[in-house]
Structure 1
Amino acid sequence: MAIISLPSRQELALMGVTLFWGGTFLIVHVTLRHCGPLFFVGLRFMTAGLIGCTVFHRALRRISLTEMGAGMAIGITIWAGYTLQTYGLQTISSSRSAFLTALYVPIVPLLQWIVLHRPPRLMNWVGIGLAFGGLMLLAGGGATQGGFGRGEWATVLCAVSVAAEIMLISHCATLGDSRRITVVQLLVAGLLALLAMPVAGERLPEFSWIWIAGGVGLGVGSMFVQLAMNWAQKAVSPTRATIIYAGEPVWGGAIGRMANDLLPATSVLGACCIVAGVLASEIRLPARPEPRK
């Protein structure tokens, strides 16, 4: 008989991360009307990193080269993912961005299989398949909004970066203190974004309380989110974490809907498939009894 297990503390933390992510798409979409993407990413993660330095300043005194390297590697993927996502949000809706970003769902277990040689369980595959089908319906539901342009392709590349980030976090989280690794990755992501501004020809924006509120507010949230991810993924596999993260576009779409970001019927069906995928991944099939010799 199949068994449905209750989520652990770590899994509940990742569910909270997913809810936070779903709510950020609309905030970023609005904030980008007042500043450039690189500046926003830089402000967001430098704020998060500086808060981390203040809160964990004693722990940072004992930072090791291994923790520095782990934080820098994760920080590069965070910078790439959020910069591409923020760039895409300049031209596509928050709901569409949420759906396309979540394409990392089928990418992570494949990377885990190839890199870590950990094949997903049967019900993981079922959950992945349902989530992937739902994402295709969600992405296809936006075809009437102008097809695939630069914003969409940037968001797809963002999904690849997010998959790499999840893999790195699972690999690096056990290499040292989560607090020190988190602070390094936040500072690296923010610094890379600010350094890339002159290269991309992006100028400093005019003063606005909107980009201050959006950047600083999400910066505070990002510090807790990355800390939670580094802590939780010590005990949660990349495949399991990815299935939980698959709920992100559902929350993003729901919040976008409240802001009159209407979704077609295919997108609603896709959201239902993702929820079904998350539930399917919770099912534990009984092990086959070994034959008697």
Structure 2
Amino acid sequence: MSAPRAAWTQLAAKMGGTRGSEAALVGITMIWGTTFLVVHQALTVTGPLMLIGLRFGVAALVLAVIFAPAMRGLTRREVFAGTLVGIGIFLGYTLQAYGMQTIPSSKSAFITALYVPLVPLLQWAVMRKPPHAMAWVGVGLAFAGLVLLAGPDGTSLGLGRGELLTMIATLAIAVEIILVGLFAGQVNVRRVSVVQLMVASLLAFALMPVTGEEMPHFSWFLVAVTVGLGLASGVIQVTMNWAQKRVSPTRATLIYAGEPVWAGLVGRLAGERLPALALVGAGLIVLGVIVSELRLSRRGARKD
């Protein structure tokens, strides 16, 4: 296991600094966006809780093996932080999956996009760090882009069961991002990532008997999907915990706003067609990130 750990250490050293951290977040956002179509297909052969349990269980197991020596130093604070974030991960992913069973994906994407303006508001309320004016401009542009990217069907918000579940999931996702930013500089990235993923997996499996969700029939498709999603989740969670030591929750949220752009590109390759408004929306998201980056660069120049 020394080789994977050494590779991770070298990668972290090379990508040190704010720009490297932001580049890493862009990378996992691309992976994150690609998983949307995969999850949608997986829900045709298994229930949401089983999918979440297997997905994050695989991720936790792989990371626990890779980071085995580091796990011996696990602290109570890391267990506490990992548990809180793990609950947020569980609620966000599970409720979103339940919502996708009853509402169109375009509407789900629009509702989930509410975490973009919600994160800076929560950051202001919880961490007492009001976002700069240019950050608000970037957030506004990104959110407007997400509305257009969702398409015409996504602009109608009927409050049915699926819509309500997805709205609650959006709040959980926003809280997760805030918590990751809050604990990022106080805990060991490797240990806390394992705890987060393990908590999310255990909660999903524990609730299966309560909800009455049945075990799915065995299929190699399900095995391949859960292993792939698990590996992706492991990479995503470790990178989030590492990168958000240097990237603020507001800035991170702007980068995460690119998720539906990549999801749309993957959908296009799978045969879906992006309408003109969706392309405009993708452009607004990119513009939002550029506007925020220009302001951040100026601030950095003044400090130097």
Q: TM-score, normalised by structure 1?
A: 0.90
Tell me, yes or no, if structure 1 residue 206 matches structure 2 residue 237. Answer: no
Within-5 A mapping of 1:152-163: 152-163=163-174
Higher relative contact order (CA 8 A, sep 6+): 1
Which whole-Å CA distance do the structure 2 matches of 1:77 and 1:24 have between them?
Answer: 19
Please, which runs of 5 or more residues in structure 2 have no aligned partner? 1-16, 300-304
Tell me, yes or no, if structure 1 residue 189 matches structure 2 residue 208. Answer: no
Q: Report SS of the residue matched to 1:171.
A: helix
Within-5 A mapping of 1:8-47: 8-47=19-58
Q: Report SS of the residue matched to 2:184.
A: helix
Partner residue in 1 for 2:60? 49
Q: Which amino acid aligns with 1:237?
A: S
Q: CA deviation at 1:140?
A: 5.7
Distance 1:262 1:95, change over 3 A: farther
Percent sequence identity is 54
Partner residue in 2 for 1:141? 152
Distance 1:114 1:209, change over 3 A: same
Please, which runs of 5 or more residues in structure 1 have no aligned partner? 1-5, 289-293
Q: Which amino acid aligns with 1:81?
A: G
Within-5 A mapping of 1:46-195: 46-94=57-105, 96-139=107-150, 141-143=152-154, 149-195=160-206
Which whole-Å CA distance do the structure 2 matches of 1:96 and 1:143 have between them?
Answer: 4
Q: Which amino acid aligns with 1:42?
A: G
Partner residue in 2 for 1:291? none
Distance 1:279 1:285, change over 3 A: closer
Q: Which amino acid aligns with 2:162?
A: G
Distance 1:261 1:119, change over 3 A: same
Q: CA deviation at 1:263?
A: 4.1
Distance 1:224 1:72, change over 3 A: same
Deviates more, 1:150-159 or 1:275-284: 150-159
Structure 1 or 2: more helix by fraction: 2
Q: CA deviation at 1:247?
A: 0.6
Q: Report SS of the residue matched to 1:119.
A: coil
Q: CA deviation at 1:273?
A: 1.6
Q: Report SS of the residue matched to 1:176.
A: coil
Q: TM-score, normalised by structure 2?
A: 0.86
RMSD across aligned C-alpha pairs, in angstroms? Answer: 2.2
Which whole-Å CA distance do the structure 2 matches of 1:278 and 1:287 have between them?
Answer: 14
Q: CA deviation at 1:71?
A: 0.4
Tell me, yes or no, if structure 1 residue 216 matches structure 2 residue 215. Answer: no
CA contact (8 A) 1:98 1:252 kept: no
CA contact (8 A) 2:148 2:277 kept: yes
Which whole-Å CA distance do the structure 1 matches of 2:101 and 2:225 have between them?
Answer: 15
Q: Report SS of the residue matched to 2:57.
A: helix
Q: Which amino acid aligns with 2:234?
A: M
Which whole-Å CA distance do the structure 2 matches of 1:151 and 1:198 have between them?
Answer: 22
When the two structures are aligned, how many residues end up with a matched partner?
Answer: 283
Q: Which amino acid aligns with 1:29?
A: H
